[in-house]
Copies of this chain bind each other. A is one copy, B any other.
Amino acid sequence: MHGSKRVLFLDLVLSVFRLNGLLIAEGDDMTEGLGLTHARWKVIGAIALSNNGLTVPGIARVLGQSRQAVQRITDVMVEDGLLEYHKNPKHKRSVLVLLSEQGKEIYNTLREVQDPWAIDATEDIPVEELETALRLIRRLIKKFN
């Protein structure tokens, strides 16, 4: 009988939905004044975490979104001077997306708010619990991928 396990898991799923919304709200609060929406700081974060830049479909894979949705955002962000398209030696059409100088400045400003936030959020949570939760979430990601 796996009844309680099933309920436990459905509870987890609903909680992930809820936490997802709250995390986006937190991010939007943090980026208030930087002129960023959640779609934008997600892209900036994904690029900043990569060393050599990412292609548009690459960003989409990291964020778990469609490449078309990411393409639309990056196009506007390039127009706004936050990102730059660079030639990709490995692909004639698929350019690399990198942070512009302005984009880097905004990311640094974001980090100044984000770092204390992350530390505060995990203040009273043991590292082991974070690791267990992350491992479980990764396992589910792999399963559903």
CB of B23 within 8 A of CB of A13, answer yes
- Beyond A9-B122, A115-B6, whether A64 also contacts B17 by CB under 8 A is yes
CB of A8 within 8 A of CB of B127, answer yes
Secondary structure call for the A interface: helix
| CB of A137, distance to nearest CB on chain B (Å) | 5
Binds B, one of A50-58, A73-81, A88-96, A128-136: A128-136
Whole-angstrom distance between the alpha carbons of A65 and B130 in the complex? 26
- Beyond A5-B122, A6-B115, A119-B6, whether A141 also contacts B12 by CB under 8 A is no
- Count this chain's copies in the assembly: 2
Whole-angstrom distance between the alpha carbons of A4 and B21 in the complex? 25
Whole-angstrom distance between the alpha carbons of A117 and B62 in the complex? 25
**CB-based nearest B residue for A21:** B64
**CB-based nearest B residue for A123:** B2
CB of A144 within 8 A of CB of B26, answer yes
Q: Which residues of B contact A20 (CB under 8 A)?
A: 16-17, 20, 64
Check A139 for interface membership: any CB of B closer than 8 A. yes
CB of B65 within 8 A of CB of A21, answer yes
Whole-angstrom distance between the alpha carbons of A25 and B43 in the complex? 21
Q: Which residues of B contact A132 (CB under 8 A)?
A: 129, 132-133, 136
Q: Which residues of B contact A136 (CB under 8 A)?
A: 125, 129-130, 132-133
What are 21 residue pairs bridging A and B, where the CB atoms are less than 8 Å apart in the complex? Answer: A4-B127, A5-B130, A8-B130, A11-B134, A12-B134, A12-B137, A14-B45, A15-B134, A15-B137, A16-B19, A16-B20, A18-B62, A19-B140, A19-B144, A21-B63, A121-B140, A121-B143, A121-B144, A129-B132, A132-B132, A132-B133
